[in-house]
Structure 1
């Protein structure tokens, strides 16, 4: 009996040491995304990594894989679902395939202005939507500013909706984005971001739609010489963590990661405002014609998208009720 007690004490002590070692074990978070390293979101992720390492005393670090090194946005989400990747950044337009209620954020001309969008995303509605993908093993941590999306084309400018008729326009794998382009008379063509430059060159599509920094950093302006700032959607990016990884973290580690993500949002928004102006100046210098069309005809044509939106009209109404000032 005495020997059994001695052995039990030794085993208990050994397991306790293992537990202690496990709790202090260093963890490296694998984060993949499709953006260029000069993009404000990538820079914000570097800032997040620095803050997280400092807050955790080196227990948590982040290794970032940019430029679609580990796959497209959809592929990275699928890697998160099976636990082969820990974090990624995707557009809300792609995330809506995994968290259907996020579809509301892709509705064209949803927000009155940037301040309105921030008040929605930073408030209860935004936080609720971040958790919508948890049953699919995906948890949103925060939103990054991705500005407004507008059309850019190769052969002719888009000054009104009629100009889009017959054009093949690249869109994300988003039902809302495809419905929007169809409502304007265009032919939506889903193509991964990494394949778009070649697709534009080869005439697979006639144009695409995105924000100024993405248009510039992707060098799509080398092919498309018309940029029409209709600003049809304000579609944020989402920083997503796989729940397999999230649930493996202690409560303290989760707090460190969430706080580092929140700090990176404020940092990124400052960078974004600067990068938008720099991008527009750069593409204009490169010979791109910047067009400022009347937005009302575009807003009128996309009403059919709203008429078909039946998933969560209550959420849309709540968004419209949000005031522009906090």
Structure 2
């Protein structure tokens, strides 16, 4: 792969210290980016500079799907990705992405901080990755250029950007819209040129990607709280000494409350900013959305591993 030479040249700096490369598609002040930056600063401080992170944000190293592959093959060391992008290769992540599996941010955090979160993180070892931490990705809602969405019928005929995840594609289709998988970076121009009518994402990304400048209607469907995941190349992880592996895992887990504090603060700032811009927000008929999404849940209830995780998640509601 062409990027391998780039990555290998980054492994050791001029002082002979180990440099881990990390990537994220989000902007420099996004909470997940700041959390990984904090990990790097902590590692550097605790090892006297022997271990550090070089962070590439804003999609400098490509899209999330590409970052997953680069991590699997050791081209980069660490990447933060949306759990939906992991669904096909790592099936246990599907349980975290099902519609209305989580009732709230607090519910999602309780789940992630317990045995379910640990089990999902361990599952990455099956395909050349190490799960380091699970981060928030907020309440995902629909936004569009046409009109408020109050009932599922209001989505009928709309072309909506979704992440490249079977669950999100099927959900949007069930709700009557036309799902259009594309990267976050392509979405703004696609709305401006009327290739699509809208998208679904969290408020923080709606603001940081400036999608609010193209889509004036935000509808509080809260259909998913699917989290983000921080993953690492297993090859890179095993190349560290046992004590450095232990340190990295500990610091990554310690970064979760750092990320959450930044998330809670910045989500409030983002909501205030888009409201001041003139974005129209509205509540929705949640029972109608739950009912419309039920066939998708019924499909995944037939998968024993997913059903078992689903039940454990609901038990913590």
| TM-score, scaled relative to structure 2 | 0.92
Match of 1:313 in 2: 307
1:211 corresponds in structure 2 to 202
Corresponding pairs, count: 300
CA shift at 1:141, angstroms? 0.6
Q: CA deviation at 1:230?
A: 1.1
Q: Which residue is 1:156 aligned to?
A: 147
Residue 4 of structure 1 is matched in structure 2 by none
C-alpha distance after superposition, 1:31-85 (max 9, x if no partner): 0110011211111111111111112221110000001111100100111111111
Quick one: distance in 1 between partners of 2:294 and 2:145? 27
Alignment partner, residue 55 of structure 1: 46
Higher-Rg structure is: 1
Further displaced range: 80-89 or 312-321: 312-321
How far does the alpha carbon of each residue in 1:78-111 deviate from its partner, in whole angstroms, 9 at most, with x for none?
1111111101000010011221111011101111
Deviates more, 1:42-51 or 1:146-155: 42-51
User: Equivalences for 1:17-28 in 2 at 5 Å?
Assistant: 26-28=17-19
2:74 to 59, 83, 90: 83
1:221, CA displacement in angstroms? 0.4
CA RMSD of aligned residues (A): 1.3
CA distance in 1, matches of 2:150, 2:46: 50
Secondary structure of the equivalent of 1:131? helix
Alignment check: 8 A CA contact 2:70 2:76 kept? yes
Aligned to 2:233: 242
Matched, 1:194 2:188: no
Instruction: Give distance in 1, aligned partners of 2:309 and 2:19.
Output: 37
Verify the 8 A CA contact 2:143 2:198 in the aligned structure 1.
yes
Query: Which one of 169, 178, 183 corresponds to residue 160 of structure 2?
Result: 169
> Secondary structure at the residue paired with 1:157?
coil
CA distance in structure 2 between the partners assigned to 1:271 and 1:118 by the alignment = 15
After superposition, residues 282-297 of structure 1 pair within 5 angstroms as 282-297=273-288
TM-superposed deviation, 1:115: 2.0
1:108-132 CA-to-partner distances (Å, cap 9, x unmatched) read 1111222221111111111111121
Residue 260 of structure 1 deviates from its aligned partner by: 1.5
* CA displacement 1:189-237 (0-9 Å, x = unmatched): 1001111111111111110001111000100000000000111000111
The alignment status of 1:44 with 2:38, answered yes or no, reads no
Partners of 1:112 and 1:88 lie apart in 2 by: 27
Runs (5+) with no aligned partner, structure 1 = 1-23
Asked whether the 8 Å contact 1:226–1:288 carries over to 2, the reply is yes
Structure 2 residue runs without a partner (length 5+):
1-14
**What's the TM-score, normalizing by structure 1?**
0.89
What is the aligned partner in structure 2 of residue 18 from structure 1? none
Q: Decide whether the 8 Å contact of 1:49 with 1:260 is kept in 2.
A: no
Q: Report what 2:93 is aligned to.
A: 102
Q: Given the alignment, which residue of 252, 255, 279 partners 1:261?
A: 252
* Contact 2:105/2:139 (8 A) holds in 1: no
- Aligned partners of 1:111, 1:95: CA distance in 2, in Å? 18
Superposition deviation, residue 182 in structure 1: 1.1
